[in-house]
Amino acid sequence: MKKTIKTGLIFASLMTCVANANTGLAFIHGTGKQTDARNDYWTSEFIDSVRQGLPNSNKYTVINCDFDQFMWNENASGCLAQGLTDFISAQGITELKLITHSNGGNIVRWILSNPTYDSRYPDIISKVKHTIALAPSSGGTPLADAAVAGNTFETSLGWLLGYGSDAVKQQQVSWMNFYNQQWLFGTSGRPSLQSTFESVVGSDVDSAIWDGDSYCGGYQYQVALEVTQNWLDSCSDGFLNCSSQSAAGSVWFTDKSKSNGSEPFSHHQSRRKCFGLDSLLRNRI
Amino acid sequence: MKTSKTINQLSTAATLIAIAISCASHAQAKNDEATFYQWPSSYKTDFTKQNKKAYTSNEYWQVVTGAQLNKGVKVYLSDASTLVKLTPKARFDQGAVFKPQNLELNQIQLGNNLANKQQIVQLAAQKEMALAGFKDGSIALKVQNASLNAPSVLKYAQPLVADDKYIVHVKDKNSAFKLNVTAPLEIKKQFQPQLTIKAELTNKQFSNTDVSARLISPLGESVELKYNQGKIDFSNELAQLGAVKGLYQVELNVSVKHLANKIKRTIKVPFIQTAQTASILTTEINIESNNQGLINVNVPVSIDQEGRFAVKATLQGYSLNNQKVDIATAEVAKFLSHDENLTMPFKVSGLTKGPYSLSNIILTDQTRMMVLPHADTSKAIIELDKAW
């Protein structure tokens, strides 16, 4: 009898273990060509904290692709599709959760909205259950318009937009509107995305020298984003207006409503372990 | 022996790498495979494409030379608090790139002849702008109490290379003068294409002579255009179809006198050119049901140019109490080099019956990224029962 119970318990544990072990998490960076996004884009501190929310914290991947290209480019969405396909296959993932930042949200929406564009997409779409888009550039940004208006050799907004001009061009407000209207789901008047796509909106930039919170993620970035905020609406994270960040899917929360100390997330801080963002994500996934 | 073994190992590794590269090659280019996807539930695929979009500009930009900046360039501010960004503009000459010298914030002067003291609030030197992400050498300044009644003069004190070019970008965030433009998102390919737009400046009229325009292709080529009461004629056929390489843009520059000042606005209006690269023969759509939960819909596609095409549609039928219902929405795509039938194998629950038809049919040219004109319904077909 004892042996039977023991066997049953072991079996039940194994089944539970198997069921939970099929949930995977992918971190998808924003504009830029990444080869070590774990350290260069997100920080290990952030990733290692967030992934503790998984049933099996080892079932995660950090994507490295060339998001300086148009979102439909093989080196952008094609690379993302391959990375997710490899992860699903290698880890036996049956339920996939995604955390994106900035333009990464657009590339995910490209895949979710165009299931037959690439033979890898249908399986990925069937596995994706939940996307948390941190400060997504769903509606573009006037800063991209400002950069392209200059039409300079380096049409670059550096770490914000990357040196690749195609990604910068694509994120102009009028261009993102075009792609939202004809090629992407999830914005107003368009079909909904078939899995949860929720954004975290950053609404301000704090860069007071006497305020310790301004140093989270790097004080120099806060100062810089206060500069770029002059081109934007008062509700913005220094790179994106709140309206752009909330244009697709639903809004999970706007920074101050849930962050520690009601602190805002600048566009840089929304990919950092700042003001409890990591624990909010950990609990959400 | 050792060398031979090493060579064999290298050869195997090379083979494996080659196979890996081959497998990782663009999955869209598998010419003989169709990709099919059925949504978990049906939805309305008909979005009557809006072919007009409204745009607004509260800014302008212009290219000036180093010589002009040293002499003084008139800038026209229409808001008490204005942003001005100065950016070096690289030039290409005989295959080489020449970048102008960078600008120092403390060398900028902005003045006018009026009594009111407009102030430059130094916003960001090149270093701060670089940290903000403008790594193109931009500097930015904010102007408080800007003069609205007369132009200001922007001057750079330190000598610059005369032929070097710079972009002056003025943003009047809260200005009462906004350029509003409504324009189509698509134009059909034709020998002499034309774009018709509606452009208005709030609180100000302007005429054709106040407007200059240019066309910027997706590849960055630029050509001057003539603007005539909202009509823009392109002198040559446009080369690019669809959105795959980016969008065409018409850039409008409006400059109109206002008292002793001017109102200047620049706006870019994006669009694509479309052509009928394929069509669906809707009268020849064939629907077959095996009465075991699978309904095959064969959609004949006739092509004018080869490419990857997708058909998205909703299968309609009847509920068991004879109500017309949407059963499922699905899409199939395949690279076509000749006319072909695309098959959509709808999986259905069995609680519906025929006659079946397709509705909300959308044909897409994925290669060029264009949604093609189409007839959006097929006639109802009584299912052919087949035991297969």
pLDDT of B122 above 80: no
Percent of chain B with pLDDT over 70: 80
**Quick check: A89 contacting B, CB < 8 Å?**
no
Residue B259 — very low, low, confident or very high, per pLDDT cuts 50/70/90?
A: confident
Which pLDDT score, from 0 to 100, does residue B81 have?
78
**Quick check: B330 contacting A, CB < 8 Å?**
no
Cα–Cα distance, A285 to A279 (Å, whole number): 10
**Quick check: B331 contacting A, CB < 8 Å?**
yes
Task: Tell me the residues of chain A between 176 and 235 that have a Cβ less than 8 Å away from chain B.
Answer: 177-179, 181-183, 189-192, 194, 220-221, 223-225, 227-228, 230-231
Which pLDDT score, from 0 to 100, does residue B93 have?
65
> Rounded to whole angstroms, what are the CA distances from B110 to A21, B107, B142?
64, 10, 11
Least confident interval from A31-45, B16-30, B116-130: B16-30
Which pLDDT score, from 0 to 100, does residue A36 have?
96
- Residue A94, both tokens: 């049956």
* Highest-scoring range by mean pLDDT, A105-109, A211-215, B323-327: A105-109
Residue B386 — very low, low, confident or very high, per pLDDT cuts 50/70/90?
A: very low
Which pLDDT score, from 0 to 100, does residue B25 have?
43
Task: Tell me the residues of chain B between 129 and 148 that have a Cβ less than 8 Å away from chain A.
Answer: 129-138, 140, 142
Cα–Cα distance, B147 to B119 (Å, whole number): 10
Cα–Cα distance, A160 to A53 (Å, whole number): 28
pLDDT of A58 above 80: yes
Cα–Cα distance, B211 to A76 (Å, whole number): 39
Residue A159 sits at the vertex; the CA angle it makes with A158 and A165, to the nearest 5 degrees, is: 50
Cβ(A235)–Cβ(A8) under 8 Å? no
pLDDT of A269 above 70: yes
- pLDDT (tens digit, 9 = 90+) per residue, B233-244? 888 889 999 999
- pLDDT (tens digit, 9 = 90+) per residue, A126-177? 999 999 999 999 999 988 877 666 553 333 333 343 334 788 889 999 999 9
pLDDT of A27 above 90: yes
Least confident interval from A192-201, B100-109, B336-345: B100-109
**Quick check: B182 contacting A, CB < 8 Å?**
no
Percent of chain A with pLDDT over 70: 86
Residue B17 — very low, low, confident or very high, per pLDDT cuts 50/70/90?
A: very low
Residue B68 — very low, low, confident or very high, per pLDDT cuts 50/70/90?
A: very high
pLDDT of B117 above 80: no
Helices (H), chain B: 2-24, 66-71, 126-132
Task: Tell me the residues of chain A between 24 and 53 that have a Cβ less than 8 Å away from chain B.
Answer: none
Chain A residues whose CB is inside 8 A of the B314 CB are none
> Rounded to whole angstroms, what are the CA distances from B340 to A12, B35, B210?
52, 15, 52
Query: Would the CB atoms of B27 and A118 count as touching at under 8 Å?
Result: yes
Interface probe with A: pick from B52, B135, B371, most Cβ of A within 10 Å: B135
Is the torsion defined by CA of B237, B240, B241, B247 positive or negative? negative
- pLDDT (tens digit, 9 = 90+) per residue, B26-64? 455 445 799 999 999 888 765 556 788 999 999 998 889
Ordered domains of chain B (ranges, CATH) = 18-49+276-382 (2.60.40.3870), 52-58+177-275 (2.60.40.1930), 59-174 (2.60.120.1370)
Which pLDDT score, from 0 to 100, does residue B173 have?
85
Interface probe with A: pick from B122, B129, B131, B173, most Cβ of A within 10 Å: B131
Which pLDDT score, from 0 to 100, does residue B137 have?
75
Chain A residues whose CB is inside 8 A of the B26 CB are 74, 78
- Residue B263, both tokens: 């109102």
The number of beta carbons lying within 10 Å of the beta carbon of residue A102 is 31
Residue A63 sits at the vertex; the CA angle it makes with A61 and A69, to the nearest 5 degrees, is: 165
- Interface A:B, Cβ pairs < 8 A: 169
pLDDT of B98 above 90: no
Which pLDDT score, from 0 to 100, does residue B335 have?
97
Q: Where are the beta strands (DSSP E) in chain A?
A: 23-28, 60-62, 95-101, 128-134, 196-201, 250-254
Query: Would the CB atoms of A115 and B44 count as touching at under 8 Å?
Result: no
Query: Would the CB atoms of A174 and B83 count as touching at under 8 Å?
Result: no
Interface probe with B: pick from A182, A243, A267, most Cβ of B within 10 Å: A182
Average pLDDT over residues A96-100: 98
